[in-house]
């Protein structure tokens, strides 16, 4: 099927994550889809589901039933091996509860025997202050009692639970394992397991918080080679599609993740088709000019490797400014989104925001716009046209007027004159100059305050005394040698003091 990305996306997914996509995929024969499901289920331990699918297509299920028994036995053994950890955890928890309750009772008794102005608040603070200490002590005791064998058995139990389709318990086991284990490689694998378990359990709120620890681990793990980091980022991108498109409140986080330089490099290198999802996320989210500029730039760069109606719509609208072509691609976008597992939920939002993009771009270019022509191009019903246009103008913060007599929209100039542009650009320089001047004045004031102290006064006195001494000695050394006579005063001066000799007067 044209523009179907299921095959490309599945190359970066776990076998369990492929199954939801196959459940949704359209346009293929049902028997063909069931055969693909059966092949994928052979890589998992979900044998109950595999038996149902294989029966549907007429395959032999004898081997699957035997494998199912083996998996059940392995699960029971792993659960028995991990029972010690559960028993230790239960004992530690009961100890914590007993200690906390005893301290609460002591705190209540102390509060009732003592007259306090705010007795209720004091009691609460005393109880709360004792709880963290007990929890920290209990966790330290738990780590001491649990050995490496028990931790490994807990990891194996979590892995078997995940493979058999028990995603909720698998997540709980992995969360405990991370707290008890010191093996960094297994902890990193457990983080991936927690994320995938939350995705398959449809726990989107928790899954949103699982992405950032994995991202930080990929970026900071020095043991991974660059090519390994590249593939790890590609895997995280594909799993984030499940999370962010099913949790619309966090869709802006998907834009930030995909526009990160390292992850954008992974998209351009390995999976350029992710640009479809980046474009939809930016259009349906609040469009920031910088994000839109980055999107257009990347789509232009990767046009020779990947293109579909969504990327062609962006290119036609923001590069070619061909509105008729953009409208044609927008019609195709509706069909593509309806057949995409991740984008079907935001079909209406995308179409509405895409029309708003065409309207805003058209208004930035034209002054007089015919309403009928605009409605025909955007697919807006005539009875709702005026309301839609008013709302679009308000959201875009345009200055416009609707001329009902001529059935036109008159746009007023949004551009400032050259003088105002120069003023706006130099305004920052002026403010920066003021800040520098204030900083210089402050430094002078601080320097003058330092000179006021005892050390500063002594320094000034010494400088004044030295200046007085040099001032008094200077005439003696520079005074001209004179000889007096009854008639006149004869002055003889050295060549170095010749200018001052002219100032002498007769006796």
The pTM (predicted TM-score) of the whole model is 0.69
Write the Ramachandran bin of 379: left for phi over 0, alpha for psi from -120 to 50, otherwise beta.
left
pLDDT at res. 468: 56
Q: Which 8-state DSSP code applies to residue 13?
A: S
- In the three-class reduction of DSSP (H, G, I as helix; E, B as strand; rest coil), residue 121 is classed as helix
Most distant CA pair in the chain: distance in Å?
A: 148
β-pairing verdict for 400-403 and 368-370: unpaired
> What is the distance between the alpha carbons of residues 70 and 45, in angstroms, rounded to a whole number?
10
Residue 382: the pLDDT is 72
pLDDT at position 104: 38
pLDDT values of the chain reduced to their tens digit, one per residue, 507 residues? 678 899 999 999 999 999 999 989 887 888 889 899 999 998 898 988 999 999 988 888 888 888 888 888 888 888 887 775 556 555 544 444 444 344 334 433 333 333 333 333 333 333 333 344 444 445 566 666 667 777 888 898 999 999 999 999 999 999 988 988 888 889 999 999 999 999 999 999 999 999 999 999 999 888 888 999 999 999 999 999 999 999 888 888 999 999 999 999 999 999 999 999 999 999 998 767 888 889 999 999 999 999 999 999 999 999 988 888 998 999 999 999 999 999 998 999 999 889 888 888 888 787 777 888 877 777 777 777 777 888 777 776 777 777 777 778 877 665 555 666 677 677 777 778 888 888 888 888 888 887 775 555 555 555 555 555 555 444 444 444 444 444 443 444 444 444 444 443 332
Q: How far is 332 from 341, CA to CA, in rounded Å?
A: 16
3 state DSSP class of 442: helix
Whether 152 and 181 have beta carbons less than 8 Å apart is answered as: no
**What are the C-alpha distances in Å from 9 to residues 14, 167, 196, 218, 342?**
10, 22, 15, 21, 11
- What string of DSSP letters covers 446-484? HHHHHTTSHHHHHHHHHHHHHHHHHHHHHHHHHSPEEEE
Coil, strand or helix: which one is 483? strand
Partners of residue 368 on adjacent β-strands: 410
Q: Tell me how far apart the alpha carbons of residues 375 and 381 are, in angstroms, rounded to a whole number.
A: 7
- With 0-12 / 13-18 / 19 or more C-beta atoms within 10 angstroms meaning exposed / middle / buried, residue 58 is exposed
Residues ≥6 apart with Cβ < 8 Å to 296: 314, 315, 318, 319
The tokens for 21 are 């996509």
């Amino acid at each position: 099927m044209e523009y179907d990305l299921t095959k490309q996306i599945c190359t970066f997914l776990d076998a369990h994550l492929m199954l939801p996509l196959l459940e949704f995929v359209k346009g293929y024969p049902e028997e063909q889809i069931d055969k693909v499901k059966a092949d994928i289920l052979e890589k998992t331990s979900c044998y109950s589901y595999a038996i149902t699918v294989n029966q549907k297509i007429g395959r032999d299920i004898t081997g699957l039933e035997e494998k199912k028994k083996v998996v059940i036995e392995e699960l029971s053994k792993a659960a028995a091996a991990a029972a010690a950890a559960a028993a230790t955890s239960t004992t530690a928890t009961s100890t914590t509860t007993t200690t906390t309750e005893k301290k609460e009772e002591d705190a209540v008794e102390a509060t009732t025997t003592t007259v306090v102005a705010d007795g209720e608040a004091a009691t609460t603070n005393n109880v709360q202050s004792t709880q963290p200490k007990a929890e920290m002590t209990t966790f330290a005791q738990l780590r001491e009692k649990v050995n490496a064998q028990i931790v490994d058995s807990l990891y194996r139990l979590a892995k078997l639970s995940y493979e058999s389709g028990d995603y909720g318990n698998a997540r709980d086991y992995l969360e405990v394992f991370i707290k008890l284990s010191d093996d960094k490689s297994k902890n990193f694998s457990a983080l991936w397991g927690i994320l995938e378990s939350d995705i398959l359990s449809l726990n989107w709120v928790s899954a949103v918080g699982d992405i950032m620890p994995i991202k930080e681990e990929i970026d900071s793990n020095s043991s991974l080679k660059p090519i390994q980091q590249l593939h790890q980022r590609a895997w995280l991108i594909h799993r984030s599609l499940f999370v962010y498109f099913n949790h619309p409140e966090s869709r802006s986080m998907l834009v930030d993740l995909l526009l990160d330089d390292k992850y954008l490099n992974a998209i351009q290198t390995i999976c350029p088709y992710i640009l479809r999802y980046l474009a939809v996320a930016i259009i349906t989210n609040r469009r920031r000019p910088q994000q839109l500029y980055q999107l257009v730039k990347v789509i232009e760069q990767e046009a020779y490797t990947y293109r579909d109606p969504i990327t062609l719509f962006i290119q036609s609208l923001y590069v070619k400014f061909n509105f008729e072509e953009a409208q044609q691609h927008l019609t195709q976008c509706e069909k593509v989104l309806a057949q995409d597992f991740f984008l079907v939920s935001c079909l209406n939002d995308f179409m509405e925001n895409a029309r708003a993009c065409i309207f805003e771009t058209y208004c930035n270019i034209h002054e007089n716009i015919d309403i009928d022509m605009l409605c025909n191009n955007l697919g807006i019903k005539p009875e709702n046209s005026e309301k839609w246009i008013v709302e679009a103008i308000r959201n875009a913060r345009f200055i416009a007027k609707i001329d009902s007599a001529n059935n036109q929209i008159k746009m007023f100039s949004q551009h400032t004159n050259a003088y105002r542009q120069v003023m706006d650009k130099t305004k920052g320089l002026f403010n920066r100059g003021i800040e520098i001047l204030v900083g210089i004045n402050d430094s002078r004031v601080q320097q003058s305050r330092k000179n006021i102290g005892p050390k500063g006064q002594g320094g000034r006195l010494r400088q004044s005394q030295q200046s007085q001494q040099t001032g008094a000695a200077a005439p003696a050394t520079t005074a001209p040698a004179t000889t007096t006579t009854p008639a006149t005063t004869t002055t003889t001066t050295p060549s170095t003091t010749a200018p001052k000799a002219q100032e002498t007067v007769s006796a």
